[in-house]
């Protein structure tokens, strides 16, 4: 898919009525952009297993030890929870949508408890609370 987009972009540049300098500059920008996209694709773990109690198992780590997740954002659209989280010790954020048929009632309750106890706290609000209490 990435190769197709890159091919279409370069074809459009070659057909454009631009000077060779502009074509070279835009081609260089396109190559740099696609190199960054490719780097993010390669660094993405091939398989994440999210447990209802907030643990994440990553197959790219060569170990099957679940690590805790830091909840960045959670929202519910009807019965479907959408989560954005980060594995502790990792700088990359991940997103997840859990469809109702993927959770049994016990796991859904564990997920609700985890979401209720691990709400993301904005750093600015925490700093304001400290300033007000002093």
Summarize pLDDT for 12-57 with one digit per residue, the tens.
Answer: 877 777 788 887 888 888 888 888 888 877 776 667 788 877 888 8
* 60 and 120 part of one domain: yes
37 with 63, same domain: the answer is no
Is pTM beyond 0.75? Reply is no
> How is residue 134 written in tokens?
């002093």
d(CA 100, CA 103): 6
Which pLDDT does position 130 carry in this prediction? Answer: 47
Which letter does DSSP use for residue 31 in this model?
H
Tell me: do 13 and 66 sit in the same domain. Answer: no
CB 23 within 8 Å of CB 16: yes
Residue 32, domain extent: 2-43
Cα of 33 vs its chain's centroid, Å = 18
Share of the chain above pLDDT 70, in %: 80
Q: Are residues 52 and 38 in the same domain?
A: no
Residues 63 and 119 in one domain: yes
Handedness of CA 27, 30, 36, 40 (dihedral sign): negative
66 shares a domain with 106: yes
Radius of gyration of the chain (CA): 22
Which residues face 80 on adjacent strands? 77
Q: Where are the alpha helices (DSSP H) in 44-77?
A: none
**pLDDT value of residue 44:** 67
Lowest-confidence segment of 14-18, 31-35, 66-70, 93-97 by average pLDDT: 14-18
Quote the pLDDT of residue 46: 65
* Same-domain status, 66 and 33: no
Task: Report the number of distinct structural domains present in the chain.
Answer: 2
Claim to verify: residue 81 and residue 121 sit in the same structural domain: yes
């Amino acid at each position: 898919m990435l190769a197709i987009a890159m091919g279409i972009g370069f074809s459009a540049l070659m057909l454009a009525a631009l000077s060779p300098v502009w074509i070279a500059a835009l081609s260089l920008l396109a190559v740099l952009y696609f190199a960054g996209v490719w780097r993010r694709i390669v660094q993405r773990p091939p398989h994440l297993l999210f447990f209802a109690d907030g643990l994440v198992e990553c197959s790219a780590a060569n170990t099957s030890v679940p690590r805790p997740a830091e909840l960045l954002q959670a929202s519910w659209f009807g019965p479907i929870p959408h989560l954005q989280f980060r594995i502790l010790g990792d700088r990359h954020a991940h997103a997840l949508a859990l469809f109702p048929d993927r959770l049994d009632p016990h796991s859904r309750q564990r997920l609700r408890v985890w979401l209720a106890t691990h709400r993301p706290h904005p750093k600015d609000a925490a700093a304001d609370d400290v300033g007000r209490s002093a």
